Chains A and B, each alone.
Chain A
Amino acid sequence: KNQVEQSPQSLIILEGKNCTLQCNYTVSPFSNLRWYKQDTGRGPVSLTIMTFSENTKSNGRYTATLDADTKQSSLHITASQLSDSASYICVVSARAGKSTFGDGTTLTVKP
């Protein structure tokens, strides 16, 4: 069964600090991995997308890594801002196009 597990479930950090969110998956055959940011009451917004051959992808202060051998990904947020407070969702897609979502990590950035 395809699964995506994210950790931690929730995280509280101070403004300006860095943090790293984890995503482990068992989706096969693997096509791509996406990180989304979902603000409360809004739809998910794409941050990064990585295919099998890509190890790292950056989008501003967001940097995602992918280790296809160990089936792990991380999302690193640098110099956090209050607006980074949101749910971060890891989504892994199989080649048939079906996507499996993680439960998300709820990040709270405090001043």
Chain B
Amino acid sequence: EAGVTQFPSHSVIEKGQTVTLRCDPISGHDNLYWYRRVMGKEIKFLLHFVKESKQDESGMPNNRFLAERTGGTYSTLKVQPAELEDSGVYFCASSQELARNTIYFGEGSWLTVV
């Protein structure tokens, strides 16, 4: 069974440019999460989808970040325009149900804004 896959694995862009990260959750997982780890800090929650609906987007830092999950399958996280402080690792994760099920993480998309 395929795990959570993320693309691209690494990305280097200039300040002001746009980057779109993609996440394909494990098939059948309704819950999809985005997290990020910026330099030297802990992993922080960004938002949570249940199917195509945004269940919780309280962790989104500002309106330069836009997440979508059209059709309830894969999700995209767009950063526009990117700033230097957006550099970090963006993790996507998925799970079947909330309480007892393991949350499976992707390998992360490493973003560097220069």
**In the bound complex, how far is the Cα of B55 from the Cα of A98, in angstroms?**
10
* Interface class of chain B by DSSP: loop
Q: Are B102 and A49 in contact (CB under 8 A)?
A: yes
How many residues does chain A have at the interface if contact means C-beta atoms less than 8 Å apart? Answer: 24
| CB neighbours of A84 from chain B (8 A) | none
* Closest 4 pairs between A and B when the two form their complex, measured CB to CB: A43-B105, A101-B43, A43-B107, A103-B42
Spell out A's residues near B (CB within 8 Å).
Answer: 31-32, 34, 36, 42-46, 49, 51, 89, 91, 93, 95-104
Q: Are A102 and B42 in contact (CB under 8 A)?
A: yes
| CB neighbours of A103 from chain B (8 A) | 41-42
Q: Smallest CB–CB gap between B73 and chain A, Å? A: 19
Q: List 15 A-B contacts (CB under 8 A).
A: A34-B103, A42-B108, A43-B107, A44-B105, A46-B102, A46-B103, A46-B104, A49-B102, A97-B31, A97-B55, A98-B48, A99-B33, A100-B45, A101-B43, A103-B42
